[in-house]
Amino acid sequence: MSVASVVAHLFDGQLPFRVEAFDGSVVAPTVASPANELTLKILTPDALIRVLRRPGELGLVRAFVAGDLELDGDLDALFSLQVPPMGHLFSPSTLGPLLRLIGSDAVRPLAPPQIEARQRGALHSRGRDRDAISHHYDVSNHFYEMVLGPSMTYSCAVFASDDDTLEIAQRRKVDLICRKLELQPGMRLLDVGCGWGAMAIHAATNYGVSVVGVTLSTEQQTYATERARALGVGELCEFRLQDFRDVRDGPFDAISSIGMSEHVGRRSLTAYAQQMFDLLKPGGRFLNHAIGRPVSMKDDPRPTRFSEARRLTQIAWGMRGPSRVRSDFIERYVFPDGELHDVGTMVSLFQAHGLEVRHLESLREHYALTLRHWVDNLEKRFDEASEEVGVERARVWRLYMAGSAVNFEHHHLEIHQVLTVKPTRGRAGLAWRPHFEPPF
């Protein structure tokens, strides 16, 4: 039996894509599918060894990252495929031919790809969080410039139309947040997880506020500091290499957190909400912009009524139902220790810690379009990106961003901006208008 025919056998004759293997064997799709134009290339016997030694997603991912497998064609179709039951791999009719194809090499250990994350220490401890952030962000600022474009903004943009450039849409997003926070000259803003400084620099340049930005990425901190100086707002922007839990110089008039709480983790959610409350002035505004997963009653049919704020984290993705369902690909190669929390959990958590939720907005379709721009940027400069960070990492980024775009389009992922205020007597200082329409 050839390598390609073994793969076809795994799918019980319902093969949705083309297979080409190192032994010269080829099998065409045998069933109509969106994946018919996709080709799986099994380039080396090591691909089979990795799958046998670590059955499931991890073996496949390692083979892909190491270059033992290749995917040609439209990657979107990949994310609609149904994986055959694991038992098929170990059935005598499959395992026997595989072992004969591999021979004695089947027991040979293979090291994981070099870029696989190997975090140590207690989950969401300060040291482990630094390592997890460094794995994703301390890669190469030039690489991120290729992917993100001139805005260097690594979060969902806000588009007025499909004709918007990514840069215009990203500017619209940070300006939307500034207006939701009602920033005024002389105010003091804390930007938690400040990235490469786009939000802080925009707020300082256009609203005259003094900004403290905190990040755990040395590459981001250096880049943001230099960029603020180059744009003439260095005196208004301070970028720190600091954990949000260690910020002690409040209170602030406003706090923004854009694409950061996904890294916090359920163990630190209560500390996160409490810290945001403690760092705000009375009447101050806090906006949380974060990716989440939709939750249905199928996930947890039991009623959820909690009297203690700390217990609200129990309904976060990570503790009940199918929560904390992990992808080996995302966990090992993209966002180590990242955790997504549904928007209902976040709203309840903020309110349980004394923050009043005043406005909530979904931007799901906007993130899908943002990711399509990033994928296009990477594909146009793929060879240059591979030279900058290595082909393994470039392949990972292409696959993860394409998959993320599909997940947002199909509503497997969500993105929300939650605007809160630290209550005070009388009017909270927010605009009477509930909508925040951009001026451009």
Of 206, 201, 247, nearest in space to 223 by CA:
201
Token pair 């943002």 is at which residue?
370
Give me the numbers of helices (H) and strands (E) for the chain, helices first please: 16, 11
Which class does domain 126-421 fall in?
A: alpha beta
- Report d(CA 368, CA 157) in Å as an integer: 10
Show me where the domains of the chain are located. Answer: 3-107, 126-421
Write out the two tokens for 412.
Answer: 């497997």
Phi and psi (nearest 5°) for 334? -120, -75
Which neighbouring-strand residues pair with 415?
A: 291
C-alpha gyration radius of the chain:
24
Q: Which amino acid is at 322?
A: P
Which neighbouring-strand residues pair with 288?
A: 257, 418
Interval 380-429: pLDDT, tens: 999 999 999 999 999 999 999 999 999 999 999 999 999 999 998 766 55
Q: CB 251: neighbour CB atoms within 10 A?
A: 14
Low-confidence stretches of the chain (pLDDT < 50) are 300-325, 432, 439-440
Write out the two tokens for 318.
Answer: 């990570």
- Report d(CA 209, CA 181) in Å as an integer: 12
Write out the two tokens for 335.
Answer: 């966002």
Which neighbouring-strand residues pair with 417?
A: 289, 361
Write out the two tokens for 171.
Answer: 């500017």
- CB within 8 Å of 17: residues ≥ 6 apart: 29, 33, 35, 36, 38, 39, 40, 73, 77, 81
Of 281, 317, 286, 313, nearest in space to 299 by CA:
317
On whether the CB atoms of residues 337 and 128 are closer than 8 A, the answer is: yes
Q: Which amino acid is at 348?
A: S
- Report d(CA 204, CA 207) in Å as an integer: 6
Of 188, 290, 194, nearest in space to 241 by CA:
194
Q: What pLDDT does 208 receive?
A: 98
Residues 79, 51, 320, 358, CA torsion sign:
negative
On whether the CB atoms of residues 421 and 283 are closer than 8 A, the answer is: yes
- Report d(CA 157, CA 14) in Å as an integer: 40
Burial classification of residue 402, based on how many CB atoms lie within 10 Å of its CB (0-12 exposed, 13-18 middle, 19 or more buried): buried
Q: What pLDDT does 310 receive?
A: 31
Q: What pLDDT does 177 receive?
A: 98
Does pTM surpass 0.75?
yes
Q: What pLDDT does 286 receive?
A: 98
Q: CB 190: neighbour CB atoms within 10 A?
A: 26
- Report d(CA 286, CA 273) in Å as an integer: 10
- DSSP state for residue 83 in the 8-state scheme: P
- Report d(CA 249, CA 416) in Å as an integer: 28
Q: CB 359: neighbour CB atoms within 10 A?
A: 16
On whether the CB atoms of residues 240 and 212 are closer than 8 A, the answer is: yes
- DSSP state for residue 311 in the 8-state scheme: G
